[in-house]
Amino acid sequence: MRLCASYLSESKNGLAAADPVAHFHLSNGASMERINWLSDTSSKGFRQSAGMMINYLYRTSRIEKNHEAYSSEGKIRKSGAFKALLKT
């Protein structure tokens, strides 16, 4: 899960997240909330993401600020639980 969190939040194409789904959500002002292990147990889910999925949170009061920080500086807002994965 740590590797998944690292890939989603640290792999970049310039300022943008390398993962196209992450880029979509982050561009729209979401924050990275939590990674769920074994949330997609289909054969496609295991092939694409080892069965993991991420929850993005759209907090109305932060959407514009998150969007601006991501678009202009590549900054990604992450929950405390998500940050903890990066430290393990």
pLDDT digits (tens, 9 = 90+) for 29-50: 999 999 999 999 999 999 999 9
Q: In whole angstroms, give the CA distance from residue 32 to residue 20.
A: 14
- Can you give the residue range of the structural domain that contains 31? 2-87
Banded model confidence at residue 11, pLDDT cuts 50, 70, 90: very high
Q: Would the pTM of this model clear 0.85, i.e. be above it? A: yes
- The rounded mean pLDDT for the chain is 96
Q: Provide the domain count of the chain.
A: 1
